[in-house]
């Protein structure tokens, strides 16, 4: 008997919660990773620091600048051209706040971090190189053979020379084994010919 659309089994609430828990497990791992938390703390502290600098500029620096210009509130300086108004004072406040933040970040964060990085992680020294006399490519100074043109630049090391001698010249045991194999083959061939002659 065929089932009707109304008979379809719906997932239970417990199954739904279990499935959502699996999906949220990856999200929890992502949120609780160290660099995400550090970034969040940095953003919050940066926003608070920005507010402090803006208050410093608005409440202390612009009144000082205004004293020299004869205007007590420099932030209200407006330049009117026709019907358009340009809030020059507000823009200058924002510009001064930006420059102060950039100076503080540079001198209190960037320079000390660069000094620490230079002290504890110095730049790697480049490996010494030499020029191949055959193909004029740069190769490591300790190379005995050029990897580009395969020219022999220096005699091979003692280990390489010994390995080449072993490969190029067979040992006495290899010669003896080969001689025994040839002798056995000849003897078997002679026996085979003798057997054929007898038949």
180/19: higher pLDDT: 180
Q: Give the tokens for residue 67.
A: 């004293």
Do both 35 and 101 map to the same domain? Answer: yes
Do both 29 and 108 map to the same domain? Answer: yes
Percent of the chain's residues with pLDDT above 70: 74
Q: What is the pLDDT of residues 88-113, one digit of tens each?
A: 888 888 888 888 888 888 888 889 88
Q: What is the pLDDT of residues 122-173, one digit of tens each?
A: 777 788 888 888 888 888 888 888 888 888 777 777 777 777 777 776 666 6
Write out the residue range of the structural domain in which residue 59 sits.
Answer: 14-120
Do both 178 and 100 map to the same domain? Answer: no
State pTM to two decimals.
0.42
**Residue 1 — pLDDT band, cuts 50, 70, 90?**
very low
For the chain, how many structural domains are there in total? 2
**Which pLDDT value is given to residue 149?**
86
* Backbone phi, psi, residue 146, to 5°: -75, 130
Distance of alpha carbon 27 from alpha carbon 47, whole angstroms: 25
* Residue 77, in any domain of the structure: yes
Instruction: Give burial (CB, 10 Å; 0-12/13-18/19+) of 74.
Output: buried
* Residue 164, in any domain of the structure: no
* 88: CATH: 1.10.1200.120
């Amino acid at each position: 008997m065929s089932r009707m659309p109304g008979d379809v089994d719906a997932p239970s609430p417990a199954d739904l919660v279990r499935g959502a828990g699996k999906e949220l497990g990856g999200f929890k791992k992502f949120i609780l990773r160290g660099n995400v938390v550090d970034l969040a703390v940095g953003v919050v502290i940066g926003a608070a620091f920005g507010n402090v600098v803006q208050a410093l500029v608005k409440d202390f620096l612009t009144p000082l600048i205004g004293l020299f210009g004869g205007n007590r509130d420099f932030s209200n300086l407006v330049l009117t051209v026709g019907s358009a108004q340009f809030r020059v004072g507000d823009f200058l406040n924002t510009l001064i706040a930006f420059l102060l933040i950039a100076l503080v970040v540079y001198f209190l964060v960037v320079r000390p971090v660069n000094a620490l990085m230079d002290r504890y992680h110095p730049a790697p020294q480049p490996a010494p190189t030499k020029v191949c006399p055959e193909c004029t490519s740069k190769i490591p100074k300790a190379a005995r053979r050029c990897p580009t043109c395969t020219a022999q630049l220096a005699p091979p090391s003692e280990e390489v020379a010994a390995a080449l001698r072993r490969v190029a010249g067979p040992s006495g045991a290899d010669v003896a084994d080969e001689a025994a194999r040839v002798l056995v083959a000849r003897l078997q061939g002679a026996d085979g010919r003798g057997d054929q002659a007898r038949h």
